[in-house]
Structure 1
């Protein structure tokens, strides 16, 4: 078994979008548009996610495309040549998402976004352990039977070390209106947990130190090199 650190979780809620403006335009490709809010929580005790920030990826279950995003963006648009008129934000089967930078225009922001992908730890800064973004995507279906959860989730923070499990469908998230008099419910909610392993993060063997309370290397043999003296060209220690 490989020991892992406490998880980083990303609950996802999907619900139909709210039209913007007095005359919202809906064409055939957008008729089944869904709106998803993704929130990542860093429950690690001390391992924060520093610059250049997180990268979250997955593989769509069907032929979904991302029409627009708020609070984040994909690193590539992909091939959207089959769409005429309005062009989707991303047509890739396996999109990679990154956070937006501080100072992003207000109309492109959502709560807990736009920190350049930096997330602090729960123990060190409980007020800044979350990062959120919103996706509007289509070609996914219109019911909780036809909408399929993505798979093959990946998280880079930066660098390797995180392994993400499959999406687990849970109880639909409920939303309270601003006046507190009405509750609406998401179409679906699913959770993904990613765990960190030092063994996965470090591909080559580390040098180590053996200590003897007798201060004699004939009692407890100690390697000739110490931590940090690994030969950069291989996994052997420098003699």
Structure 2
């Protein structure tokens, strides 16, 4: 019994380790951080100049319009004399403050004397692309010239503001940490001139684990080799009618908790009645699916359908649709997929595609600027087609694909950086005799497998 139990124990520990690795990987992808630097580059008795830089280091999280809104609380009765590269939302008259006595010649054209100013971008509506897509334009910078209250005059009297906030839903910021003086600070993004900082601080802002853990999107799968639609679980994003037009479950919320949701809005786009699309290429399919509404909904604000629509001699084709069920548009949308066969992707039509350099097997999709980079409010949507080549990968680096099956579907999907709810593993369409079975692929570990291992281990140990 000792050898047997040790064997089962080792197997179970290995299995749980894999499950933990998958979970940590998803958490890492969905978080990352926005880094903020505060550099004092000039200082006199009464005034000082600060360069503020924001950088989006998140791999798959863009900062969409209207973007960041950085705020803080002054500690030295500061007056903002000028600002370059940003604008202040809360303008405040300085004539009735102590600044009128301290700076009588400047108070009339000062920007603001607000105790807690809010700065927003003047470029690209505050949009910062994800680092895996654009590692150059994911930075914003602005410069402010400040006058200090007379009680704090002195060249070296520089007190950092408090209570920094990035102004983005779900984000929390760390306390600023001092950095050794003397670092080089560019005068402008991409410029060749640099300041030498007198005093520097850094802090980061990141999505809270509670915000990341809650899905906001529902993914469904279908394949030409199977006439079923695999949907995400009912109430995957919650059974709250305030989440969007797809979340009106009412008294059915309790009954739906352990069931699958019906075909979502994105599925209906591809296989149901024609719906206006933001793409000039309306997708159609010869496949006939059971898309009859079911009583349960996912409760998600965004629906995504991934359809393996056809197979041909040299490859296969996939259709993707994103449907917005909320009352507001989605600007600068970004979809990231963990595709086991991403290396075989040959062509993508009507949207932009990027291979995430830091993320093997990941494919990143976004809209074409000024064409379909904004998904309108419900029933707004965007659709596209992509072709895969079975021999796109050289024999030395990958095998030739023979059968298109569950390996063609993504193992993880992220929309706007947040993980989407996927269909259960055993519901994914299979090409094995037209059945839906998890036996054809070992890509994803199901909860049932973990439970079975626990039961087996307990039996052996007893």
Task: Check conservation: 1:171, 1:188, Cα contact below 8 A.
Answer: yes
What do you get for the CA RMSD once the two structures are aligned? 3.6
d(CA) in 2 for partners of 1:166, 1:176: 21
d(CA) in 2 for partners of 1:176, 1:34: 15
| Correspondence for 2:172 among 131, 151, 163 | 163
Q: Write out aligned runs for 1:194-213 (5 A).
A: 194-197=205-208, 199-200=210-211
d(CA) in 2 for partners of 1:149, 1:226: 45
Structure 1 residues 150 and 201: alpha-carbon distance in aligned structure 2, compared to 1, 3 A threshold: farther
Residue in structure 2 matched with residue 70 of structure 1 by the alignment: 84
Task: Check conservation: 1:206, 1:230, Cα contact below 8 A.
Answer: no
SS in 1 for 2:120: strand
TM-score (norm 1): 0.68
SS in 1 for 2:136: helix
SS in 2 for 1:94: coil
SS in 2 for 1:73: strand
The alpha carbon displacement at 1:166 in A equals 1.5
d(CA) in 2 for partners of 1:174, 1:97: 24
d(CA) in 1 for partners of 2:186, 2:82: 24
Greater radius of gyration (CA) = 2
Q: Identify the structure with bigger relative contact order (alpha carbons < 8 Å, sequence gap 6+).
A: 1
Structure 1 residues 237 and 15: alpha-carbon distance in aligned structure 2, compared to 1, 3 A threshold: same
2:118 is aligned with 1:96: yes
Q: Write out aligned runs for 1:41-56 (5 A).
A: 41-56=55-70
Task: Check conservation: 2:177, 2:203, Cα contact below 8 A.
Answer: yes
2:161 is aligned with 1:150: yes
| Correspondence for 1:115 among 119, 124, 129 | 124
SS in 2 for 1:156: coil
d(CA) in 2 for partners of 1:207, 1:177: 39
d(CA) in 2 for partners of 1:92, 1:35: 17
Residue in structure 2 matched with residue 81 of structure 1 by the alignment: 95
What do the CA deviations read for 1:200-239 (whole angstroms, capped 9, x no partner)? 479x99899xxxxxxxxxxxxxxx9432462225999641
Residue in structure 1 matched with residue 197 of structure 2 by the alignment: 186
TM-score (norm 2): 0.37
2:72 is aligned with 1:58: yes
Residue in structure 1 matched with residue 39 of structure 2 by the alignment: 13
d(CA) in 1 for partners of 2:121, 2:88: 9
Structure 1 residues 132 and 81: alpha-carbon distance in aligned structure 2, compared to 1, 3 A threshold: same
Count of residue pairs the alignment pairs up: 192
Task: Check conservation: 1:37, 1:132, Cα contact below 8 A.
Answer: yes
Structure 1 residues 229 and 150: alpha-carbon distance in aligned structure 2, compared to 1, 3 A threshold: closer
Task: Check conservation: 2:215, 2:237, Cα contact below 8 A.
Answer: no
Structure 2 gap segments, 5+ residues each: 1-26, 188-192, 219-232, 253-462
Structure 1 gap segments, 5+ residues each: 18-29, 101-113, 209-223
The alpha carbon displacement at 1:198 in A equals 5.2
Q: Hey, which of these two has a bigger chunk of helix by percent?
A: 2
The alpha carbon displacement at 1:85 in A equals 4.3
d(CA) in 2 for partners of 1:89, 1:124: 35
d(CA) in 2 for partners of 1:163, 1:207: 22
